């Protein structure tokens, strides 16, 4: 699959896979100056790129495991959603879950982008739903808590 990427800033990096079988391509910070993220706060980080995702796909922005586990930085919205008709800059809202200020520099890998297919559903009101073994069992009802 080919995805067109427009650099909105000459210093931007194209998304890149870290290994041959990586599902997510790294997204890079495109900031002219270091961005400090105090403990418990969120900052929007520019990537300097816009993408043209194929119809029927979605871009999912996930945390990078090393950044989240070692630096306490992860997307504030847990998973960012980039619709295939969006043409603006990809921004990552990084939240600092730690106890000390962290710094993001231009060129740092800040998140990963996974491109996946999606279905568009038509929602229809129904008086009854089909029965299942689980039924209305909610949180923790299908196994151990």
25-37: per-residue pLDDT in tens?
999 999 999 999 9
What are the beta bridge partners of residue 94? 43, 75
Q: How far apart are CA 72 and CA 85, in angstroms?
A: 32
Nearest to 108 by CA among 48, 36, 26, 51: 26
The H or E element that residue 113 is part of is strand 109-117
State which CATH number among 3.40.50.1000, 2.70.40.10, 3.10.129.10, 3.40.50.280 fits the domain covering 25-117.
2.70.40.10
47-94: per-residue pLDDT in tens?
999 999 999 999 999 999 999 999 999 999 999 999 999 999 999 999
Tell me what pLDDT residue 142 has.
64
Sequence-separated (6 or more) residues with CB below 8 Å from residue 57: 1, 84, 115, 116, 117, 118
pLDDT at 143 over 70: no
Using 50, 70 and 90 to split pLDDT, how confident is the model at 38? very high
Each domain of the chain, given as residue ranges in start order, spans 25-117
84-132: per-residue pLDDT in tens?
999 999 999 999 999 999 999 999 999 999 999 999 999 999 999 999 9
């Amino acid at each position: 699959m080919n995805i067109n990427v427009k650099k909105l800033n000459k210093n931007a990096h194209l998304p890149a896979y870290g290994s041959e079988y990586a599902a997510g391509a790294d997204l890079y910070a495109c900031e002219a100056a270091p961005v400090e993220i105090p403990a418990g706060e969120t900052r929007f980080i520019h990537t300097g790129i816009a993408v043209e995702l194929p119809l029927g796909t979605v871009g999912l922005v996930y945390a990078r495991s090393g950044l989240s586990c070692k630096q306490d930085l992860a997307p504030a919205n847990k998973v960012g959603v980039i619709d295939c008709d969006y043409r603006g800059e990809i921004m990552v809202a990084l939240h600092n879950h730690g106890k000390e200020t962290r710094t993001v520099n231009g060129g740092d890998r800040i998140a990963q982008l996974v491109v996946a297919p999606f279905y568009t559903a038509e929602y229809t009101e129904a008086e009854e739903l089909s029965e299942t073994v689980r039924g209305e069992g909610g949180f923790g009802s299908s196994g151990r808590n």
